[in-house]
Amino acid sequence: MSFSKRCKKEILKKEPEYKEIDMELLAYFYFQGSIRIVKNSYQILFKASENIEARYIYKIIKEKYKYSPAMEIQNKRKFSKDRSFIVLVEDSLVSDKILKLADQYDLYEMEKFYENLKTREQKKIILKLAFLLKGSINDPYRGYNLEINLQQKEEALLIGKIMEDFSINPKLNLRNDLYCVYIKDSDKISDFLAIIGANKSLFDLENVRAMKSIRNDINRQTNFDKANIDRTVKAAFRQIDAINKLKDKNILENLSEDLQEISELRLTYPYISLEELGKMMTPALSKAKVNYRLQKLIKLAESED
């Protein structure tokens, strides 16, 4: 099961509180609802791509109206096991109540509908249902991306505006005739998961982020250490070449005792650091003074070329 499906399943397992049912029903109807005209009456349809989604809206309708809607299963393609589900409100009185609820919130006038969302909890429900029915999230091991794909630009702008109310600034893109509202910032994806109540998925995401951060720190330190070692080895070879040149030309033996001492130590310990060389000197020298003397030997050798 993908990370996205696990995340949705986690959310769908939580039954909404009774005070949230109106907004849950409205949000589901807005994103995946439609009206079917039958003779002189009409029915309300709620589409679901998964059985767990169908059961979710079924329970909400039953809780709200004390009415059990019908369930239909459709094969998306002939002879295919890939199915979709329809939760069908056939009772015209219940259908009428749902439409009156939609009118009460001005569901199809985006500006008015947004103004009618009086609480942060209502806005959270809109974001939650938008993600459940129209969204997806990448497996964090493969990268950070959460997106919601909508048919109408007004829908996308509404979702973007609600996200901004929670300090999330998504991007908007037109892709394959759908308006894609997406987030790539891992911090903001974490915030979004917290908003919609996907706490376990949030925990899993944070674990992956922590592991990646540790791995990156280790890689950076390893690269830094390797670069330092490379620089130390190259510098040591240059120093040794200079000392050997001075030695071959009988110049080294005529230099001061301190330069002879540092030369012998460098030849004996070619790979140790300047700091360690300094500690072996009598008296001990700082790293800067050791470097100064070795650079002096290099310049003397170069002057003999």
Q: Does CATH place domain 3-197 in 3.10.28.10? A: yes
**What are the domain boundaries of the chain?**
3-197, 212-303
Determine the pLDDT at residue 136: 95
Q: Name every residue whose Cβ is closer than 8 Å to that of residue 277 and which is 6 or more positions away in sequence.
A: 262, 265, 266, 269, 285, 290
Please give the average per-residue pLDDT across 208-230, as a whole number.
Answer: 77
pLDDT at 257 over 80: yes
d(CA 285, CA 262) in angstroms, rounded, equals 10
pLDDT band at residue 116 under the 50/70/90 scheme: very high
Percent of all residues in the chain with a pLDDT value above 90, rounded to a whole number: 50
Distance (Å, whole) CA 53 – CA 60 = 11
- The per-residue pLDDT for 123 is 95
What is the mean pLDDT of the segment spanning 222-236? 77
Compute the mean pLDDT over every residue in the chain, rounded to the nearest whole number: 88
Q: CB within 8 A of 291, min separation 6: which ones?
A: 274
Mean pLDDT along residues 254-283: 85
* Tens of pLDDT, residues 155-188: 999 999 999 999 999 999 998 889 999 999 999 9
- This prediction has a pTM of 0.71
Q: Where are the beta strands (DSSP E) in 234-298?
A: none
Residue type, 235: A
The enclosing H or E element of 289 equals helix 287-303
Lowest mean pLDDT among 6-15, 70-79, 90-99, 124-133: 70-79
Token pair belonging to 198? 């996907």
> How far is Cα 281 from Cα 29, in angstroms, rounded to an integer?
82
Structure-token match 């979710």, residue found? 56
Mean pLDDT lowest for which of 5-9, 82-86, 226-230, 294-298? 226-230
Quick: pLDDT tens for 56-110. Answer: 999 999 999 999 999 988 876 655 566 889 999 999 899 999 999 999 999 888 8
User: How long a stretch of residues is the chain?
Assistant: 305
CA dist., res. 293 & res. 266, Å (int): 11
**Mean pLDDT in residue range 240-258:** 84
- For residue 143, give the amino acid letter: G
